[in-house]
């Protein structure tokens, strides 16, 4: 219990004194995870909608691949991204290994199946009659998709929260492709893991509390957007 109190006090002290190293780590953590989440949304939502609305040969295999990816261990993603980005790998000439860009790539691949799968599920659970009704009113294909997204917004925002929560808490892939280089690729999760390895449990607890607070702030904002305008029970 003393360690928890010490960690909480240290977290508050680091925040109120505007420790530059801490705020650098927080900024990089947010930049990497939010960038990965945004990229996953740009790819995953259209892909999820397509899988929900269109039937094609091999669709079942693609859906199975998406569902498998939702539970894929991050270290597996980190391994394959490392192989591709390594000096002698297919994209080694880009020199992305041990950079924030490599971490964004890895985290995007981790969040993408989650956002795709949950979007597909949310769109697929809508009443098929809604599509018929919308098209009968003369809506275009793009208008139909937009209205379906609006109808499934609760599920899609839940997908965003799930994807962000997965990547902000990720350690293995970030450590493998980022290297936990101080001032360059060190984020809250890798810094916490490093401090535990050093036996600095007070610092590790402080970092973990800050990470929890950061995650709570972002997910609370997303929850507010999700529940905004939703009718309440009388």
pLDDT category of residue 234 using cuts at 50, 70 and 90:
very low
Token digits of residue 200: 């600095």
Mean pLDDT of the chain: 88
Q: CB burial class (10 A; 0-12, 13-18, 19+) of residue 222?
A: middle
Q: Which domains, and CATH codes, for the chain?
A: 2-225 (1.10.3720.10)
pLDDT value at position 22? 87
Statement: residue 229 has pLDDT above 70: no
The string of pLDDT tens digits covering residues 23-57 is 999 999 999 999 999 999 999 999 999 999 888 88
Tell me which residue has tokens 């609006």: 150
Q: Is the pLDDT of residue 117 over 50?
A: yes
- Write out pLDDT tens, residues 128-181: 888 888 878 888 888 888 888 888 888 999 999 999 999 999 998 999 999 989
Low-confidence winner among 13-22, 39-48, 108-117, 214-223 (lowest mean pLDDT):
13-22
At 230 the pLDDT is 62
98: left (phi over 0), alpha (psi -120 to 50) or beta: left
State residue 7's pLDDT score. Answer: 78
pLDDT band for 231, please (50, 70, 90 cuts): low
Position 232 pLDDT exceeds 80: no
Q: Per DSSP, which regions of the chain are E strands? A: none
Question: Is 1 a residue whose pLDDT tops 70?
Answer: no
9/71 Cα distance (integer angstroms):
36
> With pLDDT > 90 as the criterion, what percentage of the chain qualifies?
50
Q: Say how far apart CA 31 and CA 34 lie, in whole Å.
A: 5
């Amino acid at each position: 219990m003393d360690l928890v109190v010490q960690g909480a006090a240290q977290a508050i002290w680091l925040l109120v004194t505007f420790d530059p190293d801490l705020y650098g780590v927080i900024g990089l953590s947010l930049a990497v995870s939010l960038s990965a989440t945004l990229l996953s949304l740009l790819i995953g939502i259209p892909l999820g909608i397509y899988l929900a609305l269109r039937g094609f040969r091999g669709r079942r295999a693609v859906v199975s691949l998406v569902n498998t990816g939702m539970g894929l261990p991050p270290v597996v993603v980190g391994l394959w991204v490392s192989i591709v980005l390594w000096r002698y790998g297919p994209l080694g000439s880009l020199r992305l290994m041990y950079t924030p860009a490599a971490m964004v790539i890895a985290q995007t691949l981790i969040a993408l199946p989650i956002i795709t799968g949950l979007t597909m599920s949310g769109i697929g659970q809508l009443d098929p009659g809604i599509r018929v009704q919308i098209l009968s009113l003369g809506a275009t294909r793009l208008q139909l998709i937009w209205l379906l997204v609006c109808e499934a917004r609760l599920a899609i925002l839940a997908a965003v929260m799930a994807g962000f929560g997965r990547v902000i808490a990720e350690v293995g892939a970030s450590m493998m492709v980022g290297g936990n280089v101080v001032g360059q690729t060190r984020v809250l999760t890798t810094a916490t893991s490093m401090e535990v390895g050093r036996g600095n449990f007070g610092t590790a607890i402080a970092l973990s509390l800050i990470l929890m607070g950061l995650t709570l702030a972002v997910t609370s904002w997303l929850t507010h957007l999700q529940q905004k305008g939703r009718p309440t029970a009388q």
